[in-house]
Each structure stands twice: as structure tokens, then as C-alpha cells.
Amino acid sequence: MPNYGVLVDIETTGLDPVENVILEIGMILFNRDTFEEVDTFSHVVVNDVVIEHLNHLRDTAEWVKSNLPQATQMGIEGAKFVYEMHQANGLDAHIRQLYAQYYRCDLAQIETAAVEWLKGYHISRKQTEAPAVGSSVHFDRKFIDMKMPKLGNEVLHYRNVDISTLKTLVNWWLPSVKEKRTESLNPQRLHRALDDCRDSLGELKFYHEALFNENVVMKDWS
């Protein structure tokens, strides 16, 4: 059986898993040895609750524009950034279009599909262990563990592989690798779930070649 990894990314209406909702989830199953994509999973959540949250996000963002000092004092200035991000990436429009076409898909349905998808590749805590991999993936796990508990607590391993940690350590201690990363990578930063997963996969592959190539490491230590 291949050594699988599971890249995970979600898009939300904000940073708080209690107050905000998941809009989209994407996962890429990849081969850890070759970094080839094996399969992908992607769904948007479309229901009345999501539309209500998108409307609230829009209204809050409009208010923030005219009341930035007060919004900053209240800690809600980020709503403008999130709203504009989902306008630019087309996610807001995508969800509203599906909703207008009477398509509905709840988060519980998506969770069931995600669990079955991963179990189809023998990935669960009772079969093949697979941590969630991603950039600042602890953010995604907060939402997943709270709102998709079967996926977070029964299927994905409790450990995470946070690519942002590698980024930070390289920035601290390896300026030559940081420079090479800048030259080598061209992340799209589209803020859609599968697109962000692919950005993360490219960065992880870069770190594997730059930092974890066994032939290079053994040569340096010999």
C-alpha cells in the first residue's frame, strides 16, 4: 500500500469555530514518496445557515468600512478582509448561485462523504494512520474537530503536519533555503480549498527536496 498523506484545507466565514461556519472543505490524497496526487475531495456547504452567515459577513464588512476605528476596538475589522477574500475568489458567488438553483448540501452530508472517501483508501485511526497535512493546519483542525467530529476524531490522526512550521524554521535559520524557496515556488494563494492544498503540496515537496533528501543529509553529516 502506498504511503499516503492527506492535505486538508477549509474556507470559513472567520477565525472562530464557535461563531463562524465552514463554507468549503478540500482534501488531496497524495503519495508521500512521489508527491503525486492520488485523489481529491472537495465540497461547498450550501444551506440556509450558510447564506445567513454570508449575509451577516457582508453587512458587517460594509459597516467596518465606515467605522474602522470602532471596528478595530471591537475586534471585528477582520470581517472586511474575509468578505473581500471570498468575493475575489468567487466562493461567495459560487455558493449563492448553487443556493439559487435549489441545491442544498449540509456539513453533515459532506462529513459522511469525506469519511467514506478516506475509508475507501483504508485511512482511519483503526486502519492506516494519516495526520492532517497543511499550512497552519491547526486552524483547519479546530473547525473540523468541532464541527465534523467523526472526521476529526475517528478518521484523521490526532497529530498534524504543519507546513507553516517548516516555513518559520527556514526563515529563522536557513536564509539560503528561504531564498531558493522564493525562486522555486509560485503559490497561487487563491483561497479556495483545493487550490490552497496544491500550494501546500508544492511547498511540502520543496522542503522534502531541500531539507529531507536522505542522500544530501547523509553526505552533509559524513
Look-up: residue for cell 496544491?
198
Query: Can you give the pLDDT of all 222 residues of the chain as single tens digits?
Result: 579 999 999 999 999 999 999 999 999 999 999 999 999 999 999 999 999 999 999 999 999 999 999 999 999 999 999 999 999 999 999 999 999 999 999 999 999 999 999 999 999 998 998 999 999 999 999 999 999 999 999 999 999 999 999 999 999 999 999 999 999 999 999 999 999 999 999 999 999 999 998 766 555 655
- The set of catalytic residues is 158
Asked if residues 24 and 197 have their Cβ atoms less than 8 Å apart, the reply is: no
CA dihedral of 183, 186, 191, 197, whole degrees rounded to 10: -100
DSSP 26-40: EEEEEETTT--EEEE
pLDDT of residue 169: 98
Asked if residues 177 and 140 have their Cβ atoms less than 8 Å apart, the reply is: no
Asked if residues 145 and 152 have their Cβ atoms less than 8 Å apart, the reply is: yes
Query: Max Cα separation, the chain?
Result: 64
Q: What span, in angstroms and rounded, lies between the C-alpha atoms of 110 and 41?
A: 10
Residues 120, 121, 126, 130, CA torsion sign: negative
Q: What span, in angstroms and rounded, lies between the C-alpha atoms of 42 and 7?
A: 12
Lookup: cell for 145: 474537530
Number of other CB atoms surrounding residue 91 within 10 Å: 20
pLDDT of residue 2: 72
Q: What span, in angstroms and rounded, lies between the C-alpha atoms of 194 and 40?
A: 8
pLDDT of residue 216: 62
pLDDT of residue 219: 58
DSSP structural state of residue 135: T
Lookup: cell for 165: 512550521
pLDDT of residue 9: 98
Q: What span, in angstroms and rounded, lies between the C-alpha atoms of 164 and 162?
A: 5
